[in-house]
Structure 1
């Protein structure tokens, strides 16, 4: 977790199950109108989200931010593409890793930091089915061990 992380809004647990996270980067999100109010109400879903780099800029796709209930006709499109705020070096590094090592970039968490919505994106390598099963077995074993130690 980045140092000084604020209030956690949403987490993408599916990403850690489907991918091996190699590196993480904190990025800002360009929002419109009432989107920040929906995010503050935890009305965001990261499950199918991913990041693409287009024309030297990073964009967040398939992240659903529900329309604000008390909003009006100027509410936003829930699945619109949102620009991520990153430094040029970070974008270039992500682009190089994505092309060279056939990795993908997925959103891991959304949180509020100093009043701004931040997204923690992770450079990820896809897991095979047997890797996913192995991870689940390991988690189950750790859970059983911790229960046994607690009951002592």
Structure 2
């Protein structure tokens, strides 16, 4: 949470709150159907319950909520699924974005080829997951 004050704490100019909800899934393989399941889960359950807490809008001073899925797969997805991962998109604004917005990040990490595939919003997760692969190799 970030805040800005003028002289005294009671005279707050602004405040913003940022949240991230991270979900890990372990799969043998990743398919287009799994992408549809994740999107449906975000729309039906995660966004209403975690972000808005079943209210019409998120709490006051809400700026952004990231909904992040990291999928660990035994094998690499096929080329069609890789394209769908890259195109995966969920972004929802609240009250013309005055109450912030939510966006979904998707990263699929493969155990066999040690590759990471992400959607556009999740591209910053790629380096983090590659670092994890490197640390695992050092330990083994």
Higher relative contact order (CA 8 A, sep 6+): 1
Pairwise TM-score range, normalised by the shorter structure: under 0.3
TM-score by length of 2: 0.26
TM-score by length of 1: 0.25
